[in-house]
Chains A and B, each alone.
Chain A
Amino acid sequence: LAKTTQPISMDSYEGQEVNITCSHNNIATNDYITWYQQFPSQGPRFIIQGYKTKVTNEVASLFIPADRKSSTLSLPRVSLSDTAVYYCLVGANNAGNMLTFGGGTRLMVKP
């Protein structure tokens, strides 16, 4: 069971780069690493997904080392609107209890 561990909370300031690391020591060969963002009173929203190495899109980058036992979500130049909870999810969509999100990381961006 690929359980994930993330910091409970992080603080940052506008314009800074934020890196959130997720540990997933028991990741399986078929597992993907997916990050979601959730604002209060809304459903989670997909940010980025990767399998290995580095993935970049218009909002974030995802760094995955060769052993895949951890991953780092990088948010460049955060703004106040990036204040949210960020969840790391490891697994495949048909993997049952591997679709349980952890507690997430509560990111607070300050002016």
Chain B
Amino acid sequence: DTAVSQTPKYLVTQMGNDKSIKCEQNLGHDTMYWYKQDSKKFLKIMFSYNNKELIINETVPNRFSPKSPDKAHLNLHINSLELGDSAVYFCASSQDARGGYEQYFGPGTRLTVT
């Protein structure tokens, strides 16, 4: 009955590979997000989808491509992985994109690129 789930929890891969992280929420929320948390613990928004439509696309390399097959899922695909992509990636959801709605975060995916 996990509200926001992510798979895998850990991902170790080599530079140049392509990998995906999956996210699902069972809260019936309209809006989902991807965040990156670096080694200094700063959480930075990467993307946000509202009802399967992209509404936030921050300055991230276009090697990162989100895909939302339905409003309960927001997957993150990363091409040609680089060492600097190593971080913890969090998925989150909120009731909608307006202010005043809390975000529910997943457990995170720790990506290590070697």
Contact = CB atoms under 8 A, between A and B. Distances in A.
B100 A32 contact: yes
Residue in B4, B94, B101 whose Cβ sees the most chain A Cβ within 10 Å: B101
A43 interface: yes
Contacts of A49: 100, 102
A45 B44 contact: no
Interface string B31-59: 10101000011111100101000011010
Contacts, number: 76
A51 B93 CA distance: 21
Interface residues of B, number: 31
B103 interface: yes
Interface stretch (A13-21, A63-71, A75-83, A96-104): A96-104
B42 A100 contact: yes
A94 B97 contact: yes
- Chain A, interface size category, equals 20 to 34
Contacts of B99: 30-32, 91-95
Contacts of A85: 41
Contacts of A100: 42-45
B80 to A, nearest CB: 25
Nearest to B56: A96
Interface of A: 30-32, 34, 36, 41-46, 49, 51, 85, 87, 91-97, 99-104
9 contacts: A51-B100, A87-B43, A93-B97, A93-B101, A93-B103, A94-B98, A97-B45, A103-B41, A104-B41
